[in-house]
Structure 1
Amino acid sequence: MLALLMTRSGLTKAHVYASVHGYRRAFEQSGQTAALDKMFERDKAELRDLGLTLETFDDPSAPGDNQLTRYRIPNTASPFPAGTTLDADEVLLLSLAAAVWREGSLSGESRRGLMKLRSLGVEVGEERAALVPRWRSRDAAFEPLAAAIDTGRIVEFRYLRPGDDAARLRHVEPLALVRHEGRWLLGAYDLDREDERTFLLSRVLGGIRKGGPIDEERATVAAREDQAERFLRRLQEFATQNSALLDVRPGGDAEQRLAKRGTLTAAAPTSWGRVELHYTDLDLLADELAAFGPEVRVVGPTELHDAVVSRLRRALENHGSDA
């Protein structure tokens, strides 16, 4: 990037290979240009991903000869809106946010984001950046789905819904990965049902198989809209339509945890605390409430009450007198 910014007349590939350290070293080791050409195409694509304008023009003495094509980045080009300035502390916060992701999770986006920050010329001290926390997705499906979204490819996977005896094959156009209520979900267009759906990543079984490109019209809309924000908004709207009323034992773990997510009202008739909270997935909430054992009683809805009772009875059947 610096080499192409500093040149007025532009650089040919040969000039780049001879002057830029990474290319020069690779050429000295192999003496071959085929691998360097691949590196150069990859780096050009990355510069464009950063929002930089890459100008190309022919040598007047040899028009059409791509070996003599010159490249440069005009010094007016910037991946940021005009007038953008960030101080060292602001860059530190953004750098830490990007560095939180590791082991493939959003690695492409975070890497490009860090390169944009460095293009502003503000450096962050290593001793401060070393304090970065780590946040990784534990769902094996996350990375291949993120890659499919990046490349706009259809995917298929086996998905096990609660109550089903076996996983079913799903064919979808992946649009966004979102984190909601502490869990990762895929927002996608379900090709079999011809409708948008969300899929919990922890219910995806086995590998992710990629197919052809997603519908061109949907791809255009997806590129224009913030898909993650749209699916999160739909999940939140759905949650507001589903509420659970719970009685929780005073001072217990259930009261401490559930009251933070809902509304703790006046004491129930039994002197227990009463909590109202919203949810998006009845089965997930039933799993959670059953784990609290006698600390929670479900007042409503009936479907949630029955689902929790069913889980407690199954635990009793599986463990007998040890339950």
Structure 2
Amino acid sequence: MDSLDHDVLTRARDWLAAGRRVLLATVVRTWGSSPRPPGALLALRDDGRAVGSVSGGCIEDDLIDRLHRDGLPATPQLVSYGVGAEEARRFGLPCGGTMELVLEPLADPAPLDALLARLAAGELVERRLGMASGRATLAAAHPEQGLAYDGRTLTSVFGPRYRLLLIGAGQLSESLARIALGLDFAVTVCDPREEYHEEWRVAGTTLTRDMPDDVVIAMRPDARTAVIALTHDPKLDDLALMEALRSPAFYVAALGSRRNNAARRERLREFDLSEAQVATLRGPAGLYIGSRTPAEIAVSIAAELVAVKNGVTPERVLPVAEAKAALELAADTLSSCAAR
């Protein structure tokens, strides 16, 4: 769950606690292009004030008009936008996109208080809404779960923000941390080296001087955690990577050349990691975009990080190692042809 949706739930709870009524809109299905994905939230107060987003603004305006005209519904209801080309254009849905939303009336702050308390404790929470009854229940969720809607029940999954641990506080880490903050990751930077620690200037991050492997263990990486080693120093990187590769972290990567990463994999095997665990290490980190500068390398790594987070399969992206190998093969082929 991103910070915008957390803000929506918090603001809705505050409005309810102040005695207002609230309409909570959740995107449940999209077809074609759509401005916001399934799970996106919008809260409308009974006087038309809004927080959150389900589109570029046109659908929000229509929902506010609907609220002023009809008031809050008695029970949850499903609404659709963009079924026809004319309506899609009217509501700013690109390429003939279609969107379905569940509109849920809220009157009691207690259920949202309970949800927000569990999120503050770092839990991943499933919220099941009965469309006929309007009653919502909470339960523990699994990382692989996502939003589901079958016409009778809306199941939403809420959880803590994705976390990113950067090992090393150098220039590349600064660029990558700023990008990750913009992507709504909670960013922790670990570097016990005093000369790097004292020069860190990226607001919004958590900086620690503890040893990287201790930080990984303390963070207890889960399926919403990424760990990237950026120091080039095996004493700092390897033990932390070992702990990260043994965890459910969805992305574990290391900077360095292909040769250095091959040597790193050999060292990791000496730590009794399985071949399957070593194989999950992404190194050299990033997608091949011809990057040269720290900022460009940060873009490359962030692109791979987001691709893996969003479930993009490896054959649909071109990691650095494969891209460079392909370029070398092409160069060798050209040289061979020129020599004939």
- Give the TM-score taking structure 1 as reference length: 0.27
Between 1 and 2, higher relative CO (CA 8 Å, sep ≥ 6) is seen in 2
